[in-house]
Amino acid sequence: MTAERVYNVLFLCTGNSARSILAEVLIEHWSKGRFHGYSAGSFPKGAVHALALEELERHHLPTTGLRSKSWNEFARSGAPVMDFVFTVCDQAGDEACPVWPGNPVTAHWGVADPAAVDGTGAEQQKAFRACLSCARKPHQDFCRLAGRQSRSAGNQAQGR
């Protein structure tokens, strides 16, 4: 039996403190090992937003090792080669992105920025919950599609 290939997915946002971090964790969770998630920002905040971590923990999702980082880390020689690159905020979608080695598939999955919400603590928490909820469906759909594609390719390779 041959092990299935694990695909690398990079989620980009301006600050890399909330949406892209949530996306990185969700893709790993929903893909069940078929994808390795990464995240980065064009102007990283330098820290993951506390409410992003709180929301992930509330859903029993891992937070260990998450950090806010520049997209330059993934454009350097020796960086993991990305198969997919998604922008998850409007600013990153409009910015000139680095050239990604390996010619990855790119797309935009826009999500409102929960870190930009000014309001009470309850209003901010509500924004992070809404962000995670909004991001869930495209991640699940992408993982299902990739699973079907992978099984189809495997069946073709085996002559089925």
* Residue 85 · residue 104 · CB < 8 Å: yes
Does residue 109 form part of some domain? yes
One-letter amino acid for residue 105 of the chain: V
Per-residue pLDDT reduced to its tens digit, 94-107: 666 777 778 898 88
Residue 139 lies in a domain: yes
Residue 156 lies in a domain: no
**Has residue 110 been placed in a domain?**
yes
Handedness of CA 20, 61, 100, 111 (dihedral sign): negative
- The answer to whether 13 is a known catalytic residue is yes
Enclosing domain of residue 140: 7-149
pLDDT (tens digit, 9 = 90+) per residue, 43-75? 999 999 999 999 999 999 999 999 999 999 998
pLDDT at residue 109 in the model: 83
**What pLDDT score does 124 carry?**
93
Question: In whole angstroms, how far apart are CA 57 and each of 36, 75, 86?
Answer: 19, 30, 24
Residue 39 included in any domain:
yes
Q: Catalytic: 134?
A: no
Question: pTM of this prediction?
Answer: 0.84
Looking at the structure of the chain, the number of domains it has is 1
CATH code at 70?
A: 3.40.50.2300
Distance CA(105)–CA(121), nearest Å, equals 37
